Amino acid sequence: MAGPARPPAAASSIPSSSAIDLTEGTRETPRKRSRADDVETRVAKARSLCVSEVDARAHELMEEPFRDFLAKKIDGAEIERRREAAREQAAKEHPTLSALDKAFAAYTAAAAAEQAAAAKREAAEAKLEAALCALEIKGEAGSQA
């Protein structure tokens, strides 16, 4: 029973954290990619467990703005802005979801740092290899003379 790695935006009313693409510009092994997919899938499933509670809290937060809208105190653009703010606030107020979002943000930051370090290591290795080759060629040429 495998589902998508991330729920479609329409299916999840919880705002997604600013996660990064863990595959962009990398040369990951299939095992590492599989592990990242597994983590993303688990996070998406865990987030989906909180949807009804977050929706209920967002609904509570929208009661007053909705009354203001019906009384024509605010317009459609403002009610939309408040709806988004209520959804974000409800997600932030949910302790389990907040902890998950913080942990996943830390995980994605660590994964990005690991990838950046690997890229730097590869660049340094290429420079080292070029320097070694130049000296080795010079050494071979000097020993033949």
CA distances from residue 16 to 13, 19, 105 in whole angstroms, order as listed:
9, 8, 11
Q: What integer pLDDT is reported at residue 81 of this predicted model?
A: 97
Does 35 map to a domain? yes
Number of domains comprising the chain: 1
Q: Which residues contact 53 (CB under 8 A, 6 or more apart)?
A: 94
pLDDT at residue 3 above 60?
no
Does 39 map to a domain? yes
pLDDT at residue 16 above 50?
no
* CA pair distance 50, 91, nearest whole angstrom: 9
Find the domain containing 51 and state its range.
Answer: 30-118
Q: What integer pLDDT is reported at residue 11 of this predicted model?
A: 42
Does 16 map to a domain? no
Q: What integer pLDDT is reported at residue 24 of this predicted model?
A: 52
Does 94 map to a domain? yes
